[in-house]
Amino acid sequence: MNYPITGLLNPATVVRHLKRRDKILGGILRETDQCPLFDQRALSEEALFQRLARSIVGQQLSTRAASTIWGRVVAPARGRGGLRRRILDLTEGQAAKAGLSRQKSAYLKALAAGHRDRQIRLSSLRNESDEVVIERLSELRGIGRWTSEMFLISCLKRLDVFSVGDAGLRRAMRYLYQLHDPSDADLVALAEHWRPYRSVASWHLWRALDNHWIE
């Protein structure tokens, strides 16, 4: 079982480790890159809620599309209640205008209602194993393995998570390693070389895609 890695992290040491373990990946790594995973300070309950909600919005969307829709959803979230109140008050018409599907709107409302009623306490997951976090989050409506893995990486800042179902990672790895039609097992085997920093390697692949270093 995987638990949080604690202690001080030296980004340069991690990058050198990844370069040593994987020469191909090493070609896109820079020791000066500011990977947010190295900031291991715990996020507040409200911040965890916000990031999980954003992950729901981002399901099966490109980074750009997800950011655009998220911006439309959160832009009016000011004053009392903030984002949670904004989501609960969101009408079907407002959701559609923001580009949010009816299904995702329902998922967000279920999350916001559970959080408001304290049925969901995301900070309680901090000391659980990766497997338990995925199991607990997957019990929530509209949250599956991919969203749970994104929560592990971006919210709990777990350093050794590899989301084999992530479309961006699959595209980046196909390009970088010149793979035609890799299986899940093929990609998981490649990512084994990145342990115990698979999340960091994944972040660099996402960044390379965003910057069009790889296609």
What DSSP string describes 61-127?
Answer: S-HHHHHHHHHHHHTT--STTHHHHHHHH--HHHHHHHT--HHHHHHHHHHHHHHHTTS--GGGGTT
Q: What pTM value is reported for the model? A: 0.88
**pLDDT digit of tens for each residue in the chain (215 aa)?**
444 444 457 888 999 999 999 999 999 998 777 899 998 899 999 999 999 999 999 998 888 898 999 999 887 666 556 899 999 999 999 999 999 999 999 999 999 999 999 889 999 999 999 999 999 999 999 999 999 999 999 999 999 999 999 999 999 999 999 999 999 999 999 999 999 999 999 999 999 998 888 77
Rounded distance, CA 43 to CA 41, Å?
6
- What local confidence, expressed as pLDDT, does residue 79 receive? 55
Beta strands in 153-195 (DSSP E): none
Model pLDDT, residue 212: 81
CATH of domain 45-155: 1.10.340.30
pLDDT value for 77: 62
- What pLDDT shows up at residue 6? 44
Is the four-CA dihedral 168, 174, 180, 184 of positive or negative sign? negative
The phi-psi region of residue 118 (left if phi > 0; otherwise alpha if psi is between -120 and 50; otherwise beta) is left
Residues of the chain with CATH 1.10.340.30: 45-155
Distance between CA 3 and CA 147 in Å, rounded? 18
CA 152, 36, 150: angle at the middle one, nearest 5? 25
Cα–Cα distances (Å) from 3 to 17, 37, 107, in that order, read 20, 15, 28
Q: Where in the chain is the domain with CATH 1.10.1670.40?
A: 11-40+160-210
* pLDDT number for residue 32: 72
Q: What is the pLDDT of residue 22?
A: 98
CATH number (3.30.1330.40, 1.10.30.50, 1.10.1670.40, 3.60.70.12) of 11-40+160-210 reads 1.10.1670.40
Q: What count of residues does the chain have?
A: 215
- Residue 31's SS3 state is coil
